[in-house]
Structure 1
Amino acid sequence: MEARGREAGRKRPLDPLLLALRLLPFLTSCALYFLLWLPEEEPSWMGALAKCLPILCLAGGVHVAAPPGPYSRGLCRGLLCSALGDVLLVWPDCFVFGMAAFALAHVFYVQALGWVPIRLALLGPGLVVSGLYFRLLKPHLPAELGLPVGLYIAILALMQWRALARGSPAALGGVLFSVSDAVLGWDTFVRPLASGRLTVMVTYYAAQGLLALSAEQGRPRRAD
């Protein structure tokens, strides 16, 4: 009985071929986005669709193929909110609404990732780095964006902590999401970075893909 319990609690290895087939729509839509590479200065619904399509593919894949339960439901909701944020951020005037959509996505991710194991030691470094980044960024923000951006960074740091506590691949996904948003913030408000947009989108899609991939695994261990 005990041996069976240990066996049931282990994470099942993913079949590489099956995984590749499940990721094919996501990878194909990512390739389409980078092939189109629509200019930022010309917002359009085609650009919005190309940008959010990979995330919609991930949401559909998690909904259809991932084990049912609170974890996959939370990831699906987070991915759908992210797709909405992708669309809104295509239009600069909708920046605050897009940021709010991503903040809600992180709330759903935190809800899915859960609070066990707690691993408080992982929280401190993330808060320190996030706080230092916000301190560097704040002088370059419009006055009305100081509080919303600060709240968003705090929610993102919380999501990264819970992703790190859960472990790979969610952990790497959480870190890459933070990297993507940090580069985006600096490129947008401080000064343009060489290959900034490419870095943002590659790390962003990779982060979302890894978070979605974590739904294929079993439940996290209940003890630290």
Structure 2
Amino acid sequence: MDARKEGLLLKTLFSDQHPQVRKWLVPFILACSFYFLLWIPEDQPSWVSALVKCLPILCLVVFLWAVTPGRSSSWLLQGALVCSAVGDACLIWPEAFLYGMAAFSAAHLFYLRAFGLSPLQPGLLLYIMLASLIYCSFLLPHLEPDMVLPVLAYGLILSSMLWRSLVRGGSAGWGGVLFTISDGVLAWNAFIRSLPFARHVIMTTYYAAQLLLILSGLRNPGLKTH
């Protein structure tokens, strides 16, 4: 489905004909607002801050459960969101950074499976890998030796998810791009140089990315409307 057709579909889904879609997105919007309003300092890690950070993603899990039938694509997207929530919680504590990367790697693999491998479009993958290598050339000199392989592995999985999301197109493509921007800013801020308003950029693009990625799951017919 091309972006124009998906835009028409999403416009229909958010119309009065499908009140459940708008209704079940309200908790996500409120949870995002709650996160930015509280803005718990990053140097105060706690289970409360982890819950506040994960809550928007958990709301999206409930959203998919409420508005889509129990088909494989919905379960895969929900799996991606659950793994993302685990990753969010791990990143609250610096010592759990590698566990967070592992959880987000699993999330991207769920997205990969949901988006499929057809059509293949290997040329697009080559462009993405080239851009990823250029970015890594700046990043790798700043990494500790024991972080090089995990970061490279995560970058490969993220690039693969971006590839498949762009091939799928529409909201999935934009979601993949925003997720990549969020992770790119996070890595630059963590390993190379502190950036102004980095956390604002990281979390805004991250929440928007997750929303757009799961909206791609609304392409299929059979939404619950009552």
Normalised TM-score (structure 2) = 0.89
Q: Which residue of 2 aligns with 1:58?
A: 60
Give the residue type in structure 2 aligned to 1:15: F
Specify the code of the residue in structure 1 equivalent to 2:139.
L
Give the aligned partner of residue 42 of structure 1. 44
After superposition, residues 73-152 of structure 1 pair within 5 angstroms as: 73-152=75-154
Question: Hey, what's the Cα distance between the residues in 2 that align with 1:31 and 1:184?
Answer: 21
* CA deviation string 1:54-94 (max 9, x = no partner): 00000111122123322111100000000000000000000
The alpha-carbon deviation at position 211 of structure 1 amounts to 0.7
Q: Distance in 2 between matches of 1:155 and 1:36?
A: 32
Contact persistence 1:67–1:215 (CA under 8 A): no
Contact 1:88 1:94 in 2 (8 A): yes
Alignment partner of 2:119: what SS?
A: coil
Q: How many residues align?
A: 210
Residue 93 of structure 1 aligns with an amino acid whose one-letter code is: E
Deviation, 1:23, is 1.2
How far is 1:11 from its partner?
Answer: 5.5
Stretch deviating more after TM superposition (127-136 or 198-207): 127-136
| Ranges of 4+ aligned residues in structure 1 off by more than 6 Å | none
| Pairwise CA RMSD | 1.5
Q: Among 178, 185, 188, which residue is 1:186 paired with? A: 188
Aligned residue for 2:3? none
Question: 1:16 maps to which residue?
Answer: 15
Query: Contact between 1:11 and 1:218, CA under 8 Å: does it hold in 2?
Result: no
The question of whether the paired residues in 1 share the 8 Å contact of 2:24 and 2:66 is answered with: no
TM-score norm. by structure 1 comes to 0.90
Aligned letter for 2:174? L
Match of 1:6 in 2: none
Percent of pairs with identical residues: 46
Give the drift of 1:129: 0.9
